[in-house]
Amino acid sequence: LFRSLAALQLQPTLVSAANNLGNAFMAMGRQDDAATYFRLALSADPNHANALTCLGGLLFEMGQDGEALELLEHAVARHPQNFNAHVLLVQAYERADRRDDADRHLAIAAKLKPDDANVTNNLGTRILNSGRAAEAVTQIARAVALDPTAATLHSNLVLSRLYLPDLSAADHLSEARVWNDRHGKPRAGKLPAPTNTRDPERVLRVGYVSADFYRHPVGFFMKDRKSTRLNSSHSQQSRM
């Protein structure tokens, strides 16, 4: 960090130093400082692959989607093999509800790195959403084979198998048990013990915590239930 700062003081247009500082500040969570140095790098070299990609990804995280898309599209236009930029474009176009563009960049990313577990899983998920369940399960199972330690990928496999009409309840239970043996049991001992009392007459506090409340259908299922809870009298208490 200090060497890069010293180098920039001697030569303000030194692209590598500005880019390195951008990377360092991004790793430290200092987004504004990181963006400043990535912009400095791009002012000296507008086609710098890492600066374009990192600044695009950073602005996407900061909610500046328009400029992020411009930078990332420029990145892949100048560097078509830029895997990370294609992956970021998938996320950016998803958020912009431009599904065709997201699919296009996902397909490119899958060709660039066919053995990337996350991209393989995402491709399988897109196939599942199009109704091709058998093909999707094959793709997601391949993702799990590429990274057997990834609990989320294996969860997607358990879910996607539910769409196969030829599998029985016993088949689904068997795969769920495989997931539990691989991901659940090893974590069981690391979970903190509950601190609540076992008194059956205690006041029951109900909370809803889920990432699915944002865009997943589960959020819509819960909407009326949450509204009822929020609008109920504070003087009411639910008991077990």
pTM of the model: 0.70
Convert the pLDDT of each residue in 65-106 to its tens digit: 999 999 999 999 999 999 999 999 999 998 998 989 999 999
Using CA atoms of 80, 81, 85, 86 in order, give the dihedral in degrees to the nearest 10: 80
Work out the number of other CB atoms within 10 angstroms of the CB of residue 199: 8
Q: Residue 105's CB: how many other CB atoms inside 10 A?
A: 22
Most distant CA atoms of the chain, gap in Å:
71
User: Residue 5 pLDDT > 60, yes or no?
Assistant: no
Q: Packing angle between helix 31-44 and helix 15-27, nearest 10 degrees?
A: 160
**Residue 154 burial class via C-beta count within 10 angstroms: exposed 0-12, middle 13-18, buried 19 and up:** buried
Categorize the per-residue pLDDT at 4 as very low, low, confident or very high, splitting at 50, 70 and 90.
very low
Question: What pLDDT does 187 receive?
Answer: 85
Contact 102, 90 (CB under 8 A): yes
The predicted-structure confidence for 172-223, as pLDDT tens digits, reads as follows 999 999 999 999 998 887 778 778 788 888 888 877 776 666 666 666 666 5
Residue 217, pLDDT score: 60
Residue 15: the pLDDT is 80
Nearest CA to 25 among 64, 51, 60? 51
Q: What are phi and psi of 131, to 5 degrees?
A: 95, 5
For 131-165, write each residue's pLDDT tens digit.
999 999 999 999 999 999 999 999 999 999 999 99
Smallest Cα–Cα separation from 35: which of 67, 7, 5?
67
Conformational region of residue 29, where left means phi above 0, alpha means psi within -120 to 50, and beta covers everything else: left
